[in-house]
Amino acid sequence: MKKFNFTKMHALGNNYIYIDMFKEQIEEERLASLAVSVSDIHKGIGSDGMILICPSEVAPVKMRIFNNDGSEGRNCGNGLRCVAKYAYENGIVESEQFAIETLSGIVQAYVHIDRGIVEEVTINMGKPRLSREQIPMKGESAESIVNEKATFAGQEYNITAVSMGNPHVIFYIDHIEKAPLTTLGPIVEKDERFPEGVNVEFVEVVNEKEVHFRVWERGSGITQACGTGACAAVVSSVLNDKVERDAPVVVHLAGGDLTIEWKSDGDVFMKGEAKTVCKGEYYY
């Protein structure tokens, strides 16, 4: 019987099982199935997925994220804030500002400390990727997908697609409580126009500094929050002239609020909480 130590953490309710790979060793071929089993609420620990906190050759720490279906994501905003908290509180880093490597590039983290505990983290998520090829999304035109007509399940919608290193498609609706998460979410997630799948977001614009947001995540389904999705939603809303650029926008997610700002230099900043739930041993 093998075992590893884990830390369960969440950010606005988007919770993952974190494994410190500076201390643990797990075979690469076991990772996808482990992500499924640790996430199982009945036979495992219960989470939206699994995140590895790894050594890196290009940064003090590297994040790898696995959804609860075992698929590996290329970025995770809520995960980054929790990795930053863990790295600072466990002595992997000593500075309050440091780089984190992800599969989609290197980001900068800034931990906000209160009596030795990291309560909030700001991440410079870098620049959104907007070309069709970068999303990726199949289609004729090469340029960005902004307010483009697209039909899903026989109904026509206007969509905007944004990558934050992982793919997102945004639908605007009038009442967030009516977001068709379980009906439209899984259909769009697996639509063949998105060769790598896609995270599906629904946004209700309150005003130029505030939006409501719900998400059906690629590989995990409905979650309480999606950090990269919130960034994509603000970028999309700027591109659609619904919110201000170079100004903090409050995104109200099911699990709480994130403050997102798409600066004129191109970088997207995300600020929000990161929390430790518990620690334990997992046997497999």
Ligand X SMILES: N[C@H](CCC[C@H](N)C(=O)O)C(=O)O
Q: Does 102 bind ligand X (CB under 6 A)?
A: no
- By beta-carbon proximity to ligand X, the closer residue of 160 and 166 is 166
Please confirm, yes or no, whether 226 is among the known catalytic residues. Answer: yes
Q: Is the backbone of residue 49 left (phi > 0), alpha (psi -120 to 50) or beta?
A: left
Active site residue 76: yes
Q: How far apart are CA 226 and CA 168, in angstroms?
A: 10
Task: Find out whether 272 is annotated in a ligand binding site.
Answer: no
Nearest to 242 by CA among 211, 213, 273: 211
254 binds ligand X (CB under 6 A): no
Coil, helix or strand at residue 187: helix
Q: Which x/- pattern, by CB under 6 A, does the window 53-72 give for ligand X?
A: ------------x-x-----
255: contact with ligand X by CB under 6 A = no
Measured CA to CA, the distance from residue 193 to residue 133 in angstroms comes to 11
Beta bridge partners of 266: none
227 marked as part of a ligand binding site: yes
CA distance 220 to 22: 26
Contact status: 76 vs ligand X (CB under 6 A): yes
Task: Check residue 258 for interaction with ligand X (CB under 6 A).
Answer: no
- 149-168 binders of ligand X (CB under 6 A): 166
Please tell me which residue in 54, 76, 82, 278 is annotated as part of the active site. 76
| HSE value, Cβ hemisphere, 13 Å, CA-based, for 37 | 8
78 is in an annotated binding site: yes
Largest Cα span, the chain: 56
Is residue 51 near ligand X by the rule CB under 6 A?
no
Q: Is 199 annotated as a binding residue?
A: yes
From the CB of residue 181, how many other CB atoms can be counted at a distance below 10 Å?
17
Residue 7 or 223: the one with the smaller Cβ distance to ligand X is 223
Q: Please identify which residue in 104, 163, 228, 236 interacts with ligand X, judged by CB under 6 A.
A: 228
Closest C-alpha among 164, 93, 73, 161 to residue 125: 164
Mask: binding to ligand X, 196-225, rule CB under 6 A, as x and -?
Answer: ---x-----------------xxxx--x--
Q: Is 7 in the site for ligand X (CB under 6 A)?
A: no
With contacts defined by CB under 6 A, name the span among 2-10, 173-181, 206-214, 226-234 that binds ligand X.
Answer: 226-234
Q: Which is nearer to ligand X, 44 or 185 (CB)?
A: 185
The span from the CA of 258 to the CA of 203, in Å, is 14
Minimum Å distance from CB 74 to ligand X?
Answer: 6
- Tell me: is residue 70 an annotated ligand-binding position: no
What does the block give as tokens for 73?
């994501």
Residues in Cβ contact with 103 at an 8 Å cutoff, skipping those fewer than 6 apart: 64, 72, 73, 74, 75, 165
- Contacts with ligand X by CB under 6 A lie at 14, 65, 67, 73, 76-79, 166, 199, 217-220, 223, 226-229
Task: Please identify every residue annotated as catalytic.
Answer: 76, 226
- Annotated binding-site residues read 14, 67, 77-78, 166, 199, 217-218, 227-228
